[in-house]
């Protein structure tokens, strides 16, 4: 295991729940957060309290985003930003921009995510809010990691981990550990990835961060599946994480849990079961308008269908289309996964956009 300190001993908190909602727990059900947030937001608006409206609106925006209600989330973070600007509250403006940037990343608009998160980090620094600045820098790091630009963001992840530990922020410590673990996993350093994911799970458990714990268990399940071939342990870990996702109404986390279950089943050669899980995840991601999860689920489904006898030309055509989709989103690692799938299934090289084979 890695080093633990005050960050591991502290309790997780949710800095995005502010103002009248500051007493909410990081583990509060998102439906409860949304209901109370809307009530407090309306009260603040009716009282003409722009600063309070901005703070309550942030919680509303985040609840909508995590529930997969992206259009509502988009309206809410923008309304929060306008209220913060009216109140002259630079810190609240930074938080609204952070929410908007996080939503943009979730929707696959990575260039917009970078722009909003940079603005959020700058506003956080001007407003003297080190927490929103840290969250915004973390958002930039995560956006780069999702794109596969590990060289650019690996050091930033390590810096943010050190800062989170120094300030005793358990939730951010968990996030950073998981991000670093994911990069190790994707580059084949499975032992290191597993140690970091397990440290993240233990830190989240001690801090009573159920969301972070569920995401960490998903990472552990992935590594024990790909490294050890331990299907039953991986599925059991995912089942435990799924309970938390359902209890807290974590729609995106639940969909990614189902996609990972598909991955585990596919690796085990249980292609029919994998197909069903990928199809379920695909339906969930499409309902949330989440293009990254949608594309990854489509990839798993295409691989499963190919193993179950689908015509190779149909598989090749879908993989080529998926490669184009992932290129447009800017996901380099996922694009490499498509090329590997084509080679694995014997349908490569894939046709280039102009119709010629890949050279």
| Non-local CB neighbours of 109 within 8 Å, separated by 6+ positions | none
Query: Given this model, what pLDDT does residue 171 score?
Result: 86
* Contact between residue 195 and residue 2 where contact means Cβ atoms under 8 Å apart: yes
Q: Tell me the helices (H) and strands (E) count for the chain, helix number first.
A: 17, 0
Secondary structure class of 351 (helix, strand, coil): strand
CA 334-104-207 angle, 5° bins: 85
* Contact between residue 278 and residue 304 where contact means Cβ atoms under 8 Å apart: yes
| Non-local CB neighbours of 193 within 8 Å, separated by 6+ positions | 181, 182, 184, 185, 219, 223
Q: What is the pLDDT of residues 22-41, one digit of tens each?
A: 999 888 999 999 999 999 99
Residue 243 burial by Cβ neighbours in a 10 Å radius (0-12, 13-18, 19+): exposed
- Total residue length of the chain: 359
- DSSP assignments along 238-303, one per residue: HHHHHHHHHHHT-HHHHHHHHHHHHHHHHHTT-HHHHHHHHHHHHHHHHHHT-HHHHHHHHHHHHH
Q: What is the pLDDT of residues 253-307, one digit of tens each?
A: 999 999 999 999 999 999 999 999 999 999 999 999 888 899 999 999 999 999 9
Region 123-140 average pLDDT: 92
Tell me phi and psi for residue 357, to 5 degrees.
-65, 155
Report residue 329's pLDDT band, with 50, 70 and 90 as the boundaries: confident
Query: Given this model, what pLDDT does residue 266 score?
Result: 98
| Token pair belonging to 84 | 């913060």
User: 38-47, 87-96, 140-149 — which is least confidently predicted?
Assistant: 140-149
CA 319-328-152 angle, 5° bins: 110
* Contact between residue 100 and residue 81 where contact means Cβ atoms under 8 Å apart: yes
Query: Given this model, what pLDDT does residue 72 score?
Result: 97
Instruction: Compute CA 359 distance to the chain's CA centroid, rounded to the nearest angstrom.
Output: 34
Q: Considering the entire predicted model, what is its pTM?
A: 0.84
Q: How far apart are CA 211 and CA 165, in angstroms?
A: 19
* Contact between residue 72 and residue 64 where contact means Cβ atoms under 8 Å apart: yes
Closest CA to 196 of 213, 219, 215: 219
H-type alpha helices, 67-149: 70-87, 90-106, 110-126, 130-147
Report residue 5's pLDDT band, with 50, 70 and 90 as the boundaries: very low
| Non-local CB neighbours of 15 within 8 Å, separated by 6+ positions | 131, 132, 135
| Extents of the domains making up the chain | 15-109
* Contact between residue 255 and residue 215 where contact means Cβ atoms under 8 Å apart: no
Closest CA to 285 of 295, 273, 294, 277: 294
* Contact between residue 173 and residue 135 where contact means Cβ atoms under 8 Å apart: no
Q: Is the pLDDT of residue 11 over 80?
A: no
């Amino acid at each position: 295991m890695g080093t633990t300190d005050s960050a591991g001993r502290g309790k997780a908190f949710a800095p995005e729940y502010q103002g009248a909602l500051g007493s909410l727990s990081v583990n509060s059900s998102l439906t409860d957060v949304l209901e109370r947030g809307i009530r407090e937001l309306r009260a603040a608006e009716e009282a003409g309290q722009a600063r309070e409206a901005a703070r309550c609106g942030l919680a509303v925006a985040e609840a909508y985003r995590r529930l997969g209600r992206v259009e509502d989330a988009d309206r809410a973070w923008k309304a929060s930003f306008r209220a913060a600007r009216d109140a002259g509250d630079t810190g609240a403006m930074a938080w609204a921009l952070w929410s908007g940037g996080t939503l943009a990343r979730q929707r696959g608009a990575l260039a917009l995510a970078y722009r909003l998160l940079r603005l959020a980090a700058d506003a956080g620094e001007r407003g003297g809010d080190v927490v929103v600045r840290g969250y915004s820098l973390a958002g930039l790091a995560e956006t780069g990691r999702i794109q596969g630009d590990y060289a650019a963001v690996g050091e930033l992840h390590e810096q943010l981990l050190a800062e989170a530990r120094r300030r005793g922020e358990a939730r951010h410590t968990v996030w950073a550990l998981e991000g670093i673990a994911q990069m190790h996993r994707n580059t084949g350093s499975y032992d290191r990835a597993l140690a970091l994911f397990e440290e993240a799970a233990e830190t989240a458990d001690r801090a009573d961060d159920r969301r972070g714990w569920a995401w960490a268990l998903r990472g552990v399940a992935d590594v024990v599946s790909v490294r050890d071939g331990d299907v039953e342990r991986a599925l059991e870990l995912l089942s435990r994480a799924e309970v938390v996702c359902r209890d807290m109404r974590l729609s995106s986390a639940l969909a990614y849990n189902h996609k990972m279950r598909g991955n585990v089943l596919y690796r085990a050669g249980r292609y029919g079961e994998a197909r069903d899980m990928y199809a379920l995840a695909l339906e969930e991601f499409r309902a949330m308008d989440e293009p990254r999860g949608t594309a990854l689920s489509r990839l798993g489904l295409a691989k499963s269908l190919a193993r179950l006898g689908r015509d190779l030309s149909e598989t090749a055509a879908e993989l080529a289309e998926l490669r184009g989709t992932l290129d447009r989103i800017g996901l380099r690692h996922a694009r490499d996964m498509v090329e590997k799938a084509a080679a694995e299934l014997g349908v490569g090289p894939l046709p280039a956009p102009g119709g010629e084979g890949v050279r």
